[in-house]
Amino acid sequence: MRRNRADATATISRGACAALILFVAATARAQPPSVPERPPLGSTFTAGVLRDLPTGNNAFAVAETIQLEAISDLFTAGGLNAARAPKAGALLNSWTQTQYRIGDVSITDPRSGGTPLMLPFLPLWDRMTVATGAMGLDDGAPGLSISLEPPRPGATWLRSAEGSLSGSALVSGVSGAVPAVDRVDQWQHANLMISGPVTGRVGLAAAGSWRNLSHVAVPGATASTDRVASGFAHVVFAATARDGGWLVQQT
C-alpha cells in the first residue's frame, strides 16, 4: 500500500510540473514583441565640447553650423549679428514654432514666438541640447528645440573673465564692384563669471555679458551700432531631511 501511494504522489507531481511549464510558455507567447526605441534627432553638447568648438561663444552658431537639420536666416560668426537673435527652424517647420528653454522654464518670446527673450552666451551654460524631432512629451516643441542647462556652483569660489575686440584696422576691406552683405567696422565683447558657495547650504553661479558691434549692412552706406548686455544667476539651495518633511506635509 505504501508503494502505491508513493507512485500516485509522484504521478501527481509530474502532472503539476507539466501544467506549470505549459502555463509559463503560454504567458511568454502572449507578451507583445518589444518595439525598438527611435534615436533622438538632435545633439547634446557639454561645456567641455563647446569650449573646443569655434562657436565664438554664441549659442546660435551651434544650431546653425553643427546641427544639420537646423537652418537660420542669419550668419553668426566673426562678430556679425552678435546682438540679434536669428530666426531658426528645422525639418520644414516655421521659425515661429522654435522653443527656447533654460532647464524647464521657457524663455521664448510669447508675443512673436520663435526667438528667445535673452541672448544666451556659451561660457555660462553647462550643457546645450538641440533637438529637431522625436522629442519627449516633456519638451512639447513642434519644431526646433534649444535647451540650456546652467552649471551648479562649485565647492570653492571661481572667477573668470574673457574679452575680445576688433577695430577698423583689423577688418578686411571690400574690393570689387560687388559690396559685402554685411561688414564689421568695430567689435567689442566681454564675459564675466563667478561661482562658489554663499553659505554651507546656498551656492551661486552668475555671469554677465556685454557686446558692442558697429557694422555696415547692405543696402546702407553708413555704420550702425548694436549693443546688448545680459546677465544670469543660478542659486542652488541644499535641502535637508527637515525641509523634505515640511514639503511632504504641505503637499
CA distances from 54 to 25, 64, 72, 147 (A): 58, 13, 18, 20
What per-residue confidence (pLDDT) applies to 33?
54
C-alpha cell at 121: 552666451
Cα 145 from Cα 137, distance rounded (Å): 13
What per-residue confidence (pLDDT) applies to 118?
83
Tens of pLDDT along the chain (251 residues) come to 444 544 544 444 444 443 333 333 334 444 555 545 555 677 888 888 888 887 777 788 888 788 878 888 877 766 677 777 888 888 778 888 888 988 888 888 888 888 888 888 777 788 898 888 777 677 767 778 889 998 889 889 999 998 888 887 777 777 777 777 788 888 888 889 999 999 988 999 998 888 888 888 877 778 888 888 888 888 998 877 776 544 433 33
What per-residue confidence (pLDDT) applies to 244?
54
Tell me which amino acid residue 186 is.
Q
**Terminal-residue alpha carbon distance, the chain:** 69
CB atoms within 10 A of CB 164: 13
> CATH 2.170.130.10: which residues of the chain?
41-149
What per-residue confidence (pLDDT) applies to 243?
61
Going by C-alpha positions, the residue among 205, 204, 102, 208 that lies closest to residue 145 is: 102
Going by C-alpha positions, the residue among 187, 211, 208 that lies closest to residue 83 is: 211
Cα 85 from Cα 82, distance rounded (Å): 8
Sorted by sequence, the CB contacts under 8 Å of residue 178 that are 6+ apart come out as: none
CATH of 41-149, one of 2.170.130.10, 2.40.50.140, 3.40.190.10, 1.20.1050.140: 2.170.130.10
Sorted by sequence, the CB contacts under 8 Å of residue 244 that are 6+ apart come out as: none
Cα 220 from Cα 215, distance rounded (Å): 10
Contact 43, 67 (CB under 8 A): yes
Cα 195 from Cα 150, distance rounded (Å): 11
The 3-state secondary structure of 105-119, one letter per residue: EECECCCCCCCECCC
Which DSSP state fits 92? T
